[in-house]
Chain A
């Protein structure tokens, strides 16, 4: 390994500072088009606010639709930060350091986007405050609210606190070269970090507590999200495996999203030296093993009630496997679960590009899976009435599109204005790995562990 030198440090800092300086025309076009989608979605939302939820296709029989699917999807994505950052930090896996910051950013951004969809689904956003006033502890929605608030607080802190030393670096190196607002932002957010012993101690303490807290909280969040379904006596939701299933699904889609975001940022900001193929491989292995857990959970979820096969279950299976939802369902199974496993299994397809393809399929598959849980579950008639159908209206599509654009926008802005690599952690780790005696013969040999990116 290249020893820890001033030259290495400078290069790393330059790389991380680079996004704040140059932003080309492509960046402007990208941000502008995202902004357009967001504004369009906001217009649709205002329309919905004025006219009521009647402008969606949600009715009394299928009363949850694509909003709730999007909520679960984004909450699931937020698992990325927890898995990569907290679990790997607790287990001291050193390969994590270059990717933790991005993972943590995805967590915070994903939760914000997910949470907004609950408010969108309420129709009138001011209903939110009834949660605090008339909240009923016996309702899983209340647990959900509680868990997500806790998780959001903890994960925003978990994103921010380890970023303090890097923000101080931004403050010191960008201070008078950027606008006063940006400079003020860095100065404020760095809260006077000057890397003294006491500060370092406090920093490690905070991160230490948070990483331990955040893992169970994340597990609780995804379990509780599943409970808003599983606590009702509706066929196909009435399942004990839902909690575990949702946690696994969250890790699955979270890691997939991380792969995509990493690949994009690596390409755009030339981070090839730090984010290598090895990182993608490890993440893809986690993703593939989670696909196996998902398959296992699916089999359990269907086999147990299927063995007893009540009337409602029969209806649920029929619409899922062969009728209304069959196309979507089999796309989810083949594209979202089997394909990623195949891609990761073959040595030839273990490239960044193929992993991104697999991750895109996983995310589409998981969105479909969330949609099927909500809509197909709601469609099963519990009384003897004609099963009704649901197809999202333009308002719903617009709001969901704007949610996805919002997710991308927040990440884009984060990458533009904040340190996307955990510089101090990378330096610290490099210093630990570098022997105190300088390496005598730095021959340019490829590192056996760190493969050169393709």
Chain B
């Protein structure tokens, strides 16, 4: 019994020894490491599409077909760590190209990771982000084919159709009366009256459509807490055309863009949002004509509230135009 146990123990020791020897043998050659050379811009702007290239050389020879990562230090929920931006394989020159879009402001600590036969080799570098606003995850408004407001109209029409259908049976109750004096006329009369009232009422309301919505008394805004929006401190007089009074050129285009609540629909800097179209186009697109811009603001196209002179003077609109598209050329 005892001899058996001793034999087992010595066999185990031998096994562990062999394992240790194998591990040492595997780790030791890592001293001769591959060399990763990175070519990356040092200064970028938010929104730039950035290309980083790296070349991997091992003992003078380019490493072909190696898996490479481009990573940056990402922070989520208070925890930081390396997060992969792009992945690629080296070509016959040992070179790999990564692409990413710069989304945040501030310095970026980055590295290129090479997974060679001898283990992982990292080459760290830093990129300075100098300008631009934070870019968010994605643009709002996914265009799903066949999904649109028409389905809502259809549903409402269906429900109201059913209600009117049910109503028609109620009318029949009156018509089927055997009482003296014939059927009671009140239901059809009421229906007729209701329809006329609604149609005429709607028509009157539509022809009386005011220039700007909720424009109750533009000369008497509510006093609310003073607010500070985009740089300038001013007494907050409410958002939207309702309480807006023309500053007649006294406020900057940016302030007016926020105060007039253009930002509510057209997004920060005119980039567009769920409700409103993007106002600024791609780089290189020409800015819209100032006069047609003013005209649009006066008319309020596509369901946009119209702003009259009392809300935003021509000078104000010009300031907004300049803020969005830069100084007018010529």
A: residues with CB less than 8 A from B are 52-54, 59-61, 124, 126-127, 129-130, 132-134, 136-138, 146, 150, 153-154, 157, 161, 164, 187-188, 190-194, 196, 198-199, 202-203, 205-206, 209-210, 213, 217
* Dominant SS among interface residues on chain A: helix
Check: B165 CB closer than 8 A to any chain A CB.
yes
A60-B225, A188-B186 known; 4 other A-B pairs, CB under 8 Å? Answer: A60-B224, A192-B174, A196-B177, A209-B162
Assess the A157–B176 pair: CB atoms within 8 A: no
State how many residues of chain B have any CB contact under 8 Å with chain A.
Answer: 40
Closest to B306 in A: A134
**B183 surroundings in chain A (CB, below 8 A):** 192
Closest to A132 in B: B205
Bound CA span A132–B165, Å = 24
Assess the A150–B159 pair: CB atoms within 8 A: yes
Assess the B159–A136 pair: CB atoms within 8 A: no
Closest 10 CB pairs of A and B: A192-B177, A191-B174, A209-B166, A198-B176, A192-B184, A206-B169, A134-B213, A202-B172, A202-B169, A205-B169
**A137 surroundings in chain B (CB, below 8 A):** 149, 152
- The 8 Å CB contact of B177, one of A124, A157, A194, A217, is A194
Bound CA span A188–B184, Å = 8
Assess the B178–A194 pair: CB atoms within 8 A: yes
Pick 18 A–B contacts, CB within 8 A, sort by A: A53-B222, A59-B224, A134-B305, A136-B303, A153-B163, A154-B163, A191-B184, A191-B186, A192-B184, A196-B177, A196-B178, A199-B172, A199-B177, A205-B166, A206-B167, A209-B166, A213-B162, A213-B163
Assess the B166–A210 pair: CB atoms within 8 A: yes
Closest to A138 in B: B275
Known: A164-B173, A196-B176. A132 touches B202 (CB 8 A): yes
B216-265 contacts to A (CB < 8 Å): 216, 222-225, 227, 236
Interface hub of B162, B202, B209 (most chain A Cβ within 10 A): B162
Bound CA span A60–B166, Å = 45
**B224 surroundings in chain A (CB, below 8 A):** 59-60
Assess the B173–A213 pair: CB atoms within 8 A: no
CB distance from B269 to the nearest CB of A (A): 19
Closest to B163 in A: A154
Known: A60-B224, A133-B206, A133-B209. A217 touches B159 (CB 8 A): yes
- Could you mark each residue 168-205 of chain B with 1 if its beta carbon is under 8 Å from any beta carbon of chain A, else 0? 01101110111100011011000000000000001001
CB distance from B58 to the nearest CB of A (A): 45
Closest to A135 in B: B303
**A205 surroundings in chain B (CB, below 8 A):** 166, 169
**B165 surroundings in chain A (CB, below 8 A):** 209
Assess the A146–B156 pair: CB atoms within 8 A: yes
CB distance from B251 to the nearest CB of A (A): 20
Check: B82 CB closer than 8 A to any chain A CB.
no
CB distance from B306 to the nearest CB of A (A): 10
Known: A133-B213, A138-B274. A157 touches B179 (CB 8 A): no
Assess the B169–A150 pair: CB atoms within 8 A: no
Assess the A213–B225 pair: CB atoms within 8 A: no
